[in-house]
Amino acid sequence: SGLEAATVDSPSSLKLRKAAQTTISVRYDLWGIDVGPCDCAALLFELRREGSAEWHAKGVGECNMASRICEVTGLQPDTRYFGRAKVDCSNNISSEFTYGDDHIDTLPPCKLAVPPEQCVPALYPAKAPVVLQVVSRSPGSLRIDWAAGVYLAGVSPCRFARWIVDVAKA
C-alpha cells in the first residue's frame, strides 16, 4: 500500500566494562544513528546471566552523556553477564537490539563491610572446592578428587592452606 513502517537506528556499539560486585559500566555509541519519528528516545539496557535464556531490563544509575558511559546496578556478585541495548521510544517505535561484544564477570562479595572499591583479593572469602569424584575402593577408605573453586572474575582470595572434610554415614 506504499506505507512503510517507521524505523529507528540501533546503537552503533555496546561494550561491557569495569565490573564491581553488583555494578558494571556500559559504554555505548549512538554516533550517526537516525532516531527518525521517535518521541522521547531513551536507551534501554538488558542483561542476561550465563546459563539463562531470559533478558532482563536493569536499572541504570549515573550516566555521563558526554562519554556515553552508564553504570548498571542491581547485579549479583560472581556472575557472568551478557548485554544488549536498544533505542526505545514513547510512541511504540524501537530500534533492534545491539549486542555487547563480550561478557563481563562481576566480582565476588567481600567478607568485610567495606566499600566495594576497597575490597582487595585478600578480603574475598575462599570459594568452596568443586568435588570431581568420590570413590570408596574398600571398607574404611574414601578418595575425594577435587579442584579449588575459582571466581568467575579470576580473583584468588588466598593461597591454599587446608580443607576440612566432613564425612557422614548415610
CA distance 133 to 5: 58
CATH number for domain 13-106, candidates 3.30.930.10, 3.30.70.580, 3.30.1300.10, 2.60.40.10? 2.60.40.10
The closest alpha carbon to 153, from 91, 100, 75, belongs to: 75
Nearest CA to 79 out of 97, 104, 96, 58 is that of: 104
Q: Model pTM?
A: 0.72
Structure letter (DSSP) for residue 126: P
Give per-residue pLDDT as tens, 133-144. Answer: 888 888 888 888
Least confident of 37-46, 120-129, 151-160: 151-160
Burial of 146 (0-12, 13-18, 19+ CB in 10 A): middle
Question: Where in the chain are the domains?
Answer: 13-106, 110-170
d(C-alpha 45, C-alpha 62), whole Å = 13
Burial of 44 (0-12, 13-18, 19+ CB in 10 A): middle
Q: Report yes or no: 141 and 123 within 8 Å, Cβ to Cβ.
A: no
pLDDT over threshold 90, residue 115? no
Q: What is the per-residue pLDDT across 32-57, written as a single tens digit (0 to 9) for each?
A: 777 778 888 778 889 999 999 999 98
